[in-house]
Structure 1
Amino acid sequence: MKRTSLVNKKIIITGASSGIGEKVAWYVAKERGIPIILARSRDKLEHLKADILYSFHIDSPIYIVDLLNKQETKKVINEIIENHDPVHGLINNAGIGMFAELSAMNDGDIESMIQLNVTSLIGITKQLLPYFQKQSLAHIVNIASQAGKIATPKACVYAATKHAVLGFTNGLRLELTASSNIYVTAVNLGPVKTNFLHTADPTGRYEKNVARYMLDPDDVAKKIVQQLFIPKREINLPFWMEIGSRIYQLFPAICEKLFKSQFMKK
């Protein structure tokens, strides 16, 4: 299917100050779209805004927001709708991971993961949904994870949040089946070489163990932007990991036994 042009399409991107979000904003602007970038770090967003303006002559609006603050987030989304109508897309990219056994995690870290990865994502989507339903075309992209398909030790809470994102995305897509103007896509990724892993595992052990498998955030962002405004159910990277997840769904006990060492990389 031929993709709708991104020229002048306004796309909200959460967690845009670094990693995948930053790269997605860059490639949206490269295709003459207008990324509306959200994050907590003003300095990083202003730097990205300046780079995009210099490179593509695109003025990318920035919004400083703590997505853990529900009222602050609602206010920012309302401001975006009011100031930048029409808005055409939403990429729910913001997220956090912390790799540890459940018994070693504190309640604050657990709550932060659930709030940012799930509650905020659902809240922003719900707030924008009536608005998107009035547009001729809109696209909601949720960054999930291969962890949403295969849970591993030391990532049970993180996996739970990504299971939730994937379930939410699939359910929402089915709810909107009759509404052909809104596309809903889940992006399921293996490990990506970003600062995400520095927070998830400060020891660097996991990053070292999976170094040869890690995805390039630049390649990931290109793939996401290439699929914007196409009715794509899922983007799964890397491909071999997606095949593995399908086999796992059929033979979970066998896979857990055969690939125990792989599951213990964290």
Structure 2
Amino acid sequence: MNERIKGKTIAVTGASGGLGMEIARQAAKNGANLILMARSYDKLSALRDELMTKYSIKAHVYSLDVSKREKIEETFKKIKQEVGPIDILVNNAGFGVFDTVLEMDLDEAEGMIETNVLGLITCTKLVLPDMVSHRSGHIINIASQAGKMATPKSSVYSATKHAVLGFTNSLRMEMHGRHVYVTSVNPGPIRTNFFNIADKEGTYIKNIDRLMIDPVKLAGRIVDAMMTGKREINAPGWMNAGSKIYSLFPRTFETLGRSQFNKK
């Protein structure tokens, strides 16, 4: 049990499924109150009812598309009025599409940037003043191993996750001494519906199925790290080791790994 989050208010974007839903469940199990945000209000409502019944915590639901800055500002203003300040923000909402640059749809590329980067930055910007004022808080940004090691057919997605990591690392330094923790979560492929959109042909899932991360286990690690100074959560370990090798020997790594990278 993480006693540090008992009674805290935790906001999770993209909470209607996958990793976000599992983070919400495990945070509620540890006694936290939840603010659940995603585009699907019906799924959020079902999750809210489940958590309130099972764990006797408070949970609030807000329909939100994080690609729309005006909607984010409107929603977070409403949250502050109806619920109060947020203690922990988990920026989990995001999506990817696997395509080469030659084949990519620019509308999809724009959507990825607006959701994965600008939406995350906007949500963070709106909760920081209260956290700094109260000298307590935690920003958790779900990035990706793709933000450390780029591969073919993920140029824009990888670019957004590189941006998330750069933003997170800079923010961590800015918050030093202000008692606001900042953590990046850098997973490899997670067994969620993410690939229903990202992997149009279904080949990538077939090739890496046995290597996919269990979202329940990853959510547990994230919740355990809440309100601590954990800098990064990386999973799986072997993939993170690969990203470190890549940073040291990029040409060699790209040459030797080319056949595997092109299996998407």
Alignment of 1:62-81 (within 5 A): 62-81=61-80
2:224 maps to what in 1? 226
Q: Which residue of 2 aligns with 1:178?
A: 177
Asked if residue 197 in structure 1 is aligned to residue 199 in structure 2, the reply is no
- For residue 4 of structure 1, report the CA deviation from its aligned partner: 5.4
CA contact (8 A) 1:149 1:163 kept: yes
Partners of 2:148 and 2:263 in 1: CA distance:
17
Per-residue deviation at 1:106? 1.3
Task: Quote the sequence identity (%).
Answer: 45
Cα separation, 2, equivalents of 1:9 and 1:136: 14
What corresponds to 1:238 in structure 2?
Answer: 236
Q: Which residue of 2 aligns with 1:256?
A: 254
- When structure 1 is superposed on structure 2, of 133-142 and 77-86 the one drifting more is 77-86
Counterpart in the other structure of 1:135: 134
How many residue pairs get matched?
Answer: 264
What is the rounded CA distance, in whole Å, between the counterparts of 2:139 and 2:167 in structure 1?
12
Post-superposition shift, 1:136?
3.6
2:209 equivalent in structure 1 = 211
Letter in 2 for 1:166: L
Contact 2:2 2:223 in 1 (8 A): no
Matched, 1:106 2:105: yes
CA deviation after TM superposition for structure 1 residue 37, in Å: 0.4
Q: What is the deviation of 1:78?
A: 1.1
Question: Using the alignment, how far apart are the partners of 2:56 and 2:229 within structure 1?
Answer: 29
1:86 counterpart residue number: 85
Q: TM-score, normalised by structure 1?
A: 0.97
Over residues 154-212 of structure 1, what are the superposed CA-to-partner deviations in whole Å (9 max), with x where a residue is unaligned?
00000000000000000010111131x10000000000000001110132111111111
**1:15, 1:38 within 8 Å by CA — same for their partners in 2?**
yes
- The answer to whether 1:10 aligns with 2:9 is yes
Letter in 2 for 1:251: F
The residue type paired with residue 241 of structure 1 is M
Could you list the runs of 5+ residues in structure 2 that have no partner in the other structure?
none
The secondary structure found in structure 1 opposite 2:263 is coil
Matches within 5 A, 1:112-123: 112-123=111-122
Q: Report the TM-score when normalising by structure 2.
A: 0.97
Q: Does the Cα contact within 8 Å between 2:4 and 2:226 map onto a contact in 1?
A: no
